[in-house]
Amino acid sequence: MTDGTSIAATEPPLRIIVADDQASVREGLVLLLGMLPDIDVVASAANGAEALALVAQHRPDAILLDLHMPVLDGIDTTARLTAEHPEVAIVILTTFSDDTSVLAALRAGARSYLTKDADRTDIARALHAASQGLSVLDPAVRATLLAAAEHRDVRPREVLAELPDGLTAREAEILTLIAAGHNNAEIAARLVVSDHTVKSHINRIFAKTGSRDRAAAINYAREHGLA
């Protein structure tokens, strides 16, 4: 009779990619996870663009991804991976556990979210769970989400049917969020876009409304029923 241990031992190791811009962290994760018999680290990346290329090349089961990386950050990388490689499970491993970062990552398609306090056993468990379609959230992350849920969201007003000065619906939505006091990162998280995209929209908003800064844009929003 075959027991559960021997059955598990016959399963192939989980093939993963590690992506983190800090070389010491990246190399440490590769070493620690590579020592586990049920994990096979097939490649590592220093930024999101490298991660995308390596995923296309190696077709891993899962990827362990940092959020704040150069060239292409973790949120945009997650969104691209979800669109281009939906079969690859995405596990975020980062120092950031604020609700904005967590929600942005989950909305972009990440299945699990851990902080860098997690040990290799927790990370391996999250990778295996994510590859099976399950979600794992770090206790600190769960606490952050619960705390955020206790506070009411500030909802943007309905966009006017006819927008002034050639504003698009998206620009009006962002202007409403600016008037509600949200910064660029918060707006990006709400709309599941990159900070760069938000900045581009804001530049066009300023140009169309003749606003020199956010204060002027907020005054414009109030005068035109967008706040």
Q: Which domain does 94 fall in, by range?
A: 10-148
Give the amino acid at 115: T
| Structural tokens at position 115 | 């902080």
pLDDT score, position 148: 60
Which helix H or strand E contains 211, and what residues bound it?
A: none
Which helix H or strand E contains 208, and what residues bound it?
A: helix 195-209
User: What distances in angstroms separate CA 166 from CA 159, 162, 170, one per listed residue?
Assistant: 13, 9, 11
pLDDT score, position 190: 77
Contact present, 64 and 115 (Cβ < 8 Å): no
Report yes or no on 3 lying in a domain: no
Report yes or no on 142 lying in a domain: yes
Judgement on whether residues 125 and 170 belong to the same structural domain of the protein:
no
Give the amino acid at 189: A
pLDDT score, position 205: 94
- CATH code (residue 194): 1.10.10.10
Q: How far apart are the first and last CA of the chain?
A: 70
Report yes or no on 214 lying in a domain: yes
One pLDDT digit (tens) per residue for the chain, 227 residues: 444 444 344 689 999 999 999 999 999 999 999 999 999 999 999 999 999 999 999 999 999 999 989 899 899 999 999 999 999 999 999 887 776 778 788 888 898 899 888 899 999 999 999 999 888 888 777 776 666 655 544 444 444 446 788 888 788 889 988 998 888 888 887 776 777 888 889 999 999 999 999 999 999 988 888 87
Report yes or no on 153 lying in a domain: no
- CATH code (residue 52): 3.40.50.2300
Let me know how long the chain is.
227
pLDDT score, position 56: 97
Phi, psi of 19, deg, nearest 5: -125, 115
| Structural tokens at position 41 | 């680290």
Q: Which of 116, 148, 180 is the last residue of a domain?
A: 148
pLDDT score, position 185: 84
Helices 195-209 and 214-223, axial angle in degrees (round to 10): 60
Domains identified in the chain, total number = 2
Compute the C-alpha angle 22/25/28, nearest 5°: 145
Q: Which of 41, 127, 61 is nearest to 92 (CA)?
A: 127
Give the other-Cβ count within 10 Å of 203's Cβ: 10
Helices (H), 89-138: 99-108, 120-131
Q: Which 8-state DSSP code applies to residue 86?
A: T
pLDDT score, position 134: 86
Contact present, 26 and 20 (Cβ < 8 Å): yes
Contact present, 54 and 100 (Cβ < 8 Å): no
Helix (H, G, I), strand (E, B) or coil at 17: strand
